[in-house]
Amino acid sequence: MTVTLVTGGAGYIGAHVVRALQAAGDDVVVVDDLSTGFRDRVDVPFVRLDLADAGAPDALAAVFAEYAVDTVVHLAALKDVGESVAEPERYYRVNVLGVVHVLDAMRRAGVPDLVFSSSAAVYGEVDRDGVDEQQPCAPINPYGRTKLVGEWAIEDATRAWGLRAVRLRYFNVAGAGDVTLRDRIAANLIPIVVEQVRRGAAPRIFGGDHPTADGTCVRDYVHVEDLAEAHVAAVGALRSGRTAGAAVNIGTGSGASVRDVVDVVGAVTGRPVRPVVDAPRAGDPAAMVADPGLAHRLMGWRARRDLIDIVRSAVD
Ligand SMILES: NC(=O)c1ccc[n+]([C@@H]2O[C@H](COP(=O)([O-])OP(=O)(O)OC[C@H]3O[C@@H](n4cnc5c(N)ncnc54)[C@H](O)[C@@H]3O)[C@@H](O)[C@H]2O)c1
């Protein structure tokens, strides 16, 4: 039996990852401080712990020993870009120190395999489709920078002591496996538009003159259940020695514009939607779509769900 410890497992993505790992036959333990997570999302052994605390490496090493953990999926982090601009110290503390503490505990306890939640935010302002992992990293906000520093710490550990790691760079995650696992903090486009349409409010579109087919920003929306399955694929690839410290994009490879999203929400909810176009936001790239080819080559993973599946699961 393999035992995977999921940090941040009470979070939106983490709870889906826990469920997917269980479905694949792993035993799962969750570590989370419940700062943005919810205890009722998961029904597995649970340890409440702030991973940025000075005592976290010792506490975590004890959890590894108690449950005979052999793999870690490290999702616990803060993820609000605007908040990271206002409070960078808190973001570096949680997102960077958290990684360092996880690595420290893994090294001491001899836990070999790590899957890390990174983000397309590490690339910065890339304005095109088909962004692959060769794209230079140039994050433009503290959140993206903390994710990149976390990646560097992991790369250095793979060189120093033989850690086996894969860094998953998620594009725009949305949707839900079921209503209990839904994102409860509406901070991304799809939950925001769904909420506005439910209230009968007009969704706001930032920028209608971008150099895209319909003038609105294009993004790569990946269903959270596809993303969860990518973690299962990553764990399998790690255990068979196939990923060799790689950074891997997790996206669908096809873009949807803000207007597409608004139209699909209107079609799925059956409500009339008349968006209002506002001024563009500073630092919002026109298009950001993954080349997910490496995920398929290394891990045999490919997204199976589309934008309609995503919106349906966010609305039902
Ligand atoms: N949601 C997205 O679109 C997206 C995109 C790219 C990357 N990510 C990354 O995915 C991961 C999960 O994001 P999410 O959307 O599920 O967010 P979330 O806020 O729902 O989940 C984060 C979880 O981590 C826990 N946590 C935070 N700080 C902690 C600490 N110091 N110690 C222990 N636990 C702590 C929270 O309580 C929460 O349960 C994050 O690393 C995030 O950066 C998310």
Domain ranges of the chain: 3-173+221-250, 175-220+252-315
**Which residue, by CA, sits nearest to atom 26 of ligand 1?**
76
CB contact at 8 A, 302 and 296: yes
Which atom of ligand 1 is found nearest the CA of 121? 6
Q: Does any ligand 1 atom lie closer than 6 A to the CB of residue 8?
A: yes
Res 101 pLDDT > 90: yes
74's torsion region: left (phi>0), alpha (psi -120 to 50) or beta? beta
Residue 119 vs residue 125, higher pLDDT: 119
Structure confidence at residue 221 (pLDDT): 97
- Integer Rg of the chain from CA: 19
Nearby residues of 11 by Cβ (< 8 Å), 6 or more positions away: 32, 36, 37, 41, 75, 76
Q: What is the pLDDT of residue 1?
A: 66
Q: Please indicate whether residue 143 is annotated as part of the active site.
A: yes
CA of 76 to the centre of ligand 1 (A): 5
Please, what sign has the CA dihedral across residues 13, 14, 20, 23? negative
> Pick the catalytic residue: 12, 92, 143, 170?
143
pLDDT digits (tens, 9 = 90+) for 192-250: 898 888 888 998 899 999 999 999 999 999 999 999 999 999 999 999 988 778 999 99
Cα gap 243→146, rounded to integer Å: 23
Rounded to whole angstroms, how far apart are CA atoms 96 and 98?
5
Least reliable range by pLDDT among 4-13, 266-275, 296-305: 266-275
pLDDT at 276: 92
pLDDT of residue 126: 87
Q: What is the mean pLDDT of residues 300-306?
A: 97
Tell whether domain 175-220+252-315 is in CATH 3.90.25.10. Answer: yes
Alpha carbon of 79 to ligand 1 centroid (Å): 6
The second-level CATH assignment, the architecture, of 3-173+221-250 is 3-Layer(aba) Sandwich (3.40)
Residue 167, pLDDT score: 98
